[in-house]
């Protein structure tokens, strides 16, 4: 089984503008696809790779230029300092769920399997999707589906889940699909289910909060001219990354100097973002929603 096929690999590596003696971070190591290409271009440089999923460690090559850390990327700055690194020349993050996580039924990420509602990126975490569904009240559940799934009928979804759990605990993906069955639009089942599962996964793993923490730290540790290379897979992430690269904040509020000139920490290298072409999508259908944004620190 393939652990993961990285999306937009060539475009990412080109975007990093790798220098042979530079210091780089792969914030989402996964199957190691991006890291292995970075290492090919390094001589005396260093690569620090993060992945909170314990399973990813099996993909780390034995290479003295690589430091693999089984950590969430929110601990970027502390881990760099611990390893004697103050600044870096580039950071890449592929924010998608790995094939491995989707394809292991017991991880609970995919609705095509009837499996425990887990959805933890790191198995050491204690909060699961089943626990969220069991403990949160209806307004908080609705908030998760609205904020993280961008679902207009979030209140109805929360209502039917709360009603279902009163009859029987909602502990598996099958239980959840049964609970929301009457709200599932005809001929749009996959899209609807994907948004519901995405919302729960984001909440379980604090994905938006941790992404914000990492981006702010990346801005601090990037050298002048350093590159920030981020692949997103849904509009919530993409809007956040786009705003941050354009303005230095997550709201997209443009700060101006005394003369009215915009003040921004980055130079945007691809304003609309890069998406996969038809040949890549035909080879890797899971890349179809990927969008790559690249910025250079000023």
CATH code for the domain in which residue 157 is found: 1.10.150.170
Q: Give the model confidence (pLDDT) of 229-238 as tens digits.
A: 999 999 999 9
CATH number at residue 90: 3.40.50.150
Task: Give yes or no: residues 275 and 136 share one domain.
Answer: no
Report strand pairing: 291-297 vs 222-232.
antiparallel
Query: What pLDDT shows up at residue 262?
Result: 85
Give the dihedral of Cα atoms 108, 110, 113, 117; nearest 10 deg. Answer: 30
Structural domain tally of the chain? 2
H helix runs in the chain, sequence order? 9-16, 33-40, 76-82, 99-103, 129-135, 138-149, 154-167, 173-179, 189-205, 207-221, 235-247, 278-283
Residue in this structure with the two tokens 């204690």, named with its chain if needed:
126
Show Cβ contacts of residue 281 under 8 Å, excluding neighbours closer than 6 positions.
287, 288
Tell me if 16 sits within 8 A of 93, measured CB to CB.
no
pLDDT at 258: 86
Q: Same domain for 126 and 94?
A: no
Q: What is the mean pLDDT of the chain?
A: 95
Residue 235 DSSP SS3:
helix
Low-confidence ranges of the chain (pLDDT < 50): none
Q: What domain range includes position 29? A: 9-99+207-297
pLDDT at 2: 63
Query: Which pLDDT tens digit goes with each residue over 74-90?
Result: 999 999 999 999 999 99
271 and 229 inside one domain: yes
Q: Which residue among 185, 205, 225 closes a domain?
A: 205
Q: Which of 160, 175, 205 is the last residue of a domain?
A: 205
Q: How far is CA 115 from the centre of its chain?
A: 22
Inside any domain, residue 195: yes
């Amino acid at each position: 089984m393939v652990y993961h096929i990285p999306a937009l690999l060539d475009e990412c590596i080109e975007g990093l503008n790798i220098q042979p003696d530079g210091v780089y971070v792969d914030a989402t190591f996964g199957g190691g696809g991006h890291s292995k290409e970075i290492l090919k271009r390094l001589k005396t440089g260093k690569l620090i790779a993060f992945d909170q999923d314990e399973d990813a460690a099996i993909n780390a090559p034995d290479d003295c230029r690589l430091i693999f850390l089984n950590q969430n990327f929110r601990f970027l700055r502390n881990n760099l300092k611990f390893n004697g690194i103050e600044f870096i020349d580039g950071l890449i993050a592929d924010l998608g769920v790995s094939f491995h996580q989707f394809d292991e039924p017991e991880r609970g990420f995919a609705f095509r399997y009837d499996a425990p509602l887990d959805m933890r990126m790191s198995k050491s975490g204690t909060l699961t999707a089943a626990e969220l569904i069991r403990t949160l009240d209806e307004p908080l559940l609705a908030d998760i589906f609205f904020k993280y799934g961008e679902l207009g009928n979030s209140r109805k979804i929360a209502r039917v889940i709360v009603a279902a759990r009163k009859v029987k605990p909602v502990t598996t993906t099958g239980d959840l699909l049964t609970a929301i069955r009457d709200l599932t639009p005809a001929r749009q089942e996959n899209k609807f289910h994907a948004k519901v599962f995405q919302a729960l996964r984001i909440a379980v793993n604090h994905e938006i909060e941790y992404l914000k923490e990492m981006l702010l730290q990346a801005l601090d540790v990037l050298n002048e001219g350093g590159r920030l290379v981020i692949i997103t897979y849904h509009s919530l992430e993409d809007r956040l990354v786009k705003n941050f690269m354009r303005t230095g904040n997550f709201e997209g509020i443009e700060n101006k100097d005394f003369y009215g000139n915009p003040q921004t920490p980055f130079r945007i290298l691809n304003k609309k973002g890069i998406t996969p072409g038809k040949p890549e999508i035909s080879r890797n259908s899971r890349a179809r929603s990927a969008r790559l944004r690249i910025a250079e620190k000023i």
